[in-house]
Amino acid sequence: MTAEKILLCVLDGISDRPCPEFGYRTPLQAAHTPNLDTLAREGICGIMDTIAPGIRPGSDTAHLSLLGYPPERYYTGRGPIEAEGCGIHMERGMIGFRVNYATIDDEGIVTDRRAGRISDTGALSRAIQEEVDLSSLGVEFVFRSGAGHRAALAFRGEGLGAAVSSNDPKKEGAILHRFEALTSKPEDRKTAEALNDFARQAGEILREQPLNQEREKRGDQPANMVLIRGAGQMGHYEPFNEKYGMKGSVIAAATLITGIGTVVGLTRVDVQGITGSANTNLEGKIRATISELEKADFVLLNIKGADEAGHDGNAQKKKEFIEVIDQALAPLQDLENCLIAFCADHSTPCSVKDHSGDPVPLLIHGEGVRVDGVDRYDEIACAGGGLHRIRGEYLMPVLLDLVNRSRKYGA
């Protein structure tokens, strides 16, 4: 029997480097992971460079590569993808941006780039959408809240470019920047002018919002400015169902990942209580995944909390969340007629507190795989597996072949 469906489970940032607190083992090596280890014993393993050896992937470029959309061909910046993830329909040629709600003082100095990690910003975003006016510049816009302090912005209009700087100084205690065109092209100058006007108007509107006034009374940081970055022009993505002949879905808390899924044509599945952090509703995610596989041929499932711990440099928290992940994955062992691939999109070493170019562990489980001798799912054990070392762009061809959907090359 050959499996007919594919589950691609991306354990975001789960891989690491040796940590002193674990006797120079990685958090994944130190964690108790009986379910992943069982799947490893019953499957085939390897390690994978999601982009190429030594290249530090972004989550966006890595996921595009894993889905078979080479980022060097398709990637035009994070902004358009983030906008899609926030529910903005990005038409070809629109300019997209990622946004943070932030706090600035009266001198224009950024005091908190995340406005106290504010959440539930819907009222603020609606006020910006309704009250900012860029019509004098011939620019239409859409502004939407994302998860937590995040939001997205999209511009539509004639003569707009994407080569513009950010107003984000990337650190607290620094003055808010002005947007500048990065070329002498009139399209980029127009976008920079529109962004400066947008940020000015948004700041004025935010200062008058009841929510921010209440936050200030409580001693919380007000969300009185928007930091805008990641400009990119929306390109064309071959629809997933046309590329692979499969109906697909995406389940993720991060708007970036849902955005990647939707731009390639995967159906977004919302799950209550998912956060992208250690407090996420993992059980709900797994239930939704199993339910979705009853009607979809392919599901992309992203689980993010280990990445957050890596960025925080907290190896113990990362190990503990990996163990939570492992427990939640137990029901997937009972899936029938489904090929499951487990991997990371990148390594996030606690010693680096950022993404690295280290390869990630890969496991494929299901009918028809050539079971190797690997008995643990971790960075070192998987390196000895039968898949050896591959690149992310090869993952979908391997999975398609295992479910008998690949096309013959030649006669």
26-62 confidence digits (pLDDT tens): 999 999 999 999 999 999 999 999 999 999 999 999 9
What is the pLDDT, as a whole number, of residue 51?
98
Residue 276: pLDDT over 90:
no
Confirm whether 57 is domain-assigned: yes
Quick one: average pLDDT of 6-17?
98
Confirm whether 102 is domain-assigned: yes
CB atoms within 10 A of CB 158: 9
DSSP 8-state assignment for residue 259: H
Percent of the chain's residues with pLDDT above 90: 95
User: β-strands 174-175, 150-156: how paired?
Assistant: unpaired
Question: What's the structural domain count of the chain?
Answer: 2
Distances (CA, A) of 35 to 176, 192, 324, 376: 48, 51, 11, 10
Q: Kindly state whether residues 55 and 151 are assigned to the same domain.
A: no
Assign 156 a pLDDT band (cuts: 50, 70, 90): very high
CB atoms within 10 A of CB 187: 18
What is the pLDDT, as a whole number, of residue 189?
98
pLDDT, one tens digit per residue, over 178-224 is 999 999 999 999 999 999 999 999 999 999 999 999 999 999 999 99
Give me the chain's average pLDDT, please: 96
Q: Kindly state whether residues 65 and 107 are assigned to the same domain.
A: no
pLDDT, one tens digit per residue, over 334-374 is 999 999 999 999 999 999 999 999 999 999 999 999 999 99
Quick one: average pLDDT of 299-309?
96
Percent of the chain's residues with pLDDT above 70: 100
Amino acid at 81: I
Residue 1: pLDDT over 80:
no
Confirm whether 408 is domain-assigned: no
In contact, 322 and 314? CB cutoff 8 Å: no
Q: Is the dihedral of CA 195, 72, 100, 286 positive or negative?
A: positive
If you write DSSP's letter for every residue of 178-218 in order, what string do you get? PP-BSSS-HHHHHHHHHHHHHHHHHHHHHHT-HHHHHHHHH
Nearest CA among 112, 109, 148, 106 for reference residue 220: 112
Assign 332 a pLDDT band (cuts: 50, 70, 90): very high
Q: What is the dihedral of CA 142, 144, 146, 149, to 10 degrees?
A: 110
What is the pLDDT, as a whole number, of residue 148?
85
Q: Which residue has the tokens 């539930």?
A: 120
Question: How many CA atoms lie less than 13 Å away from 98 in the CB half-sphere?
Answer: 18
Residue 411: pLDDT over 90:
no
Nearest CA among 313, 293, 138, 152 for reference residue 230: 152
In this predicted model, which residue has the larger pLDDT, 326 or 276? 326
Residue after which a domain boundary falls, among 233, 252, 280: 233
Confirm whether 411 is domain-assigned: no
Assign 275 a pLDDT band (cuts: 50, 70, 90): confident
Residue after which a domain boundary falls, among 217, 233, 249: 233
Q: Kindly state whether residues 385 and 280 are assigned to the same domain.
A: yes
Nearest CA among 39, 16, 38 for reference residue 342: 39
Amino acid at 4: E
Q: Kindly state whether residues 20 and 156 are assigned to the same domain.
A: no
Q: Kindly state whether residues 46 and 97 are assigned to the same domain.
A: no
Assign 147 a pLDDT band (cuts: 50, 70, 90): confident
pLDDT, one tens digit per residue, over 100-134 is 999 999 999 999 999 998 988 999 999 999 999 99
Quick one: average pLDDT of 234-259?
95
Q: Kindly state whether residues 295 and 350 are assigned to the same domain.
A: yes
pLDDT, one tens digit per residue, over 71-104 is 999 999 999 999 999 999 999 999 999 999 999 9
What is the pLDDT, as a whole number, of residue 289?
98
Residue after which a domain boundary falls, among 188, 211, 233: 233
Helix (H) / strand (E) element for 113: namely none
Q: Kindly state whether residues 219 and 265 are assigned to the same domain.
A: no
- Tally helices (H) and strands (E) across the chain: 14, 14
Encoded tokens for 183: 């070329």
CATH for 362? 3.40.720.10
**What is the domain extent for residue 147?**
82-233
Confirm whether 409 is domain-assigned: no
How far is Cα 330 from Cα 346, in angstroms, rounded to an integer?
A: 23
Distances (CA, A) of 216 to 45, 115, 178, 355: 53, 11, 26, 35
Quick one: average pLDDT of 224-252?
97
Q: Kindly state whether residues 133 and 186 are assigned to the same domain.
A: yes
Assign 402 a pLDDT band (cuts: 50, 70, 90): very high
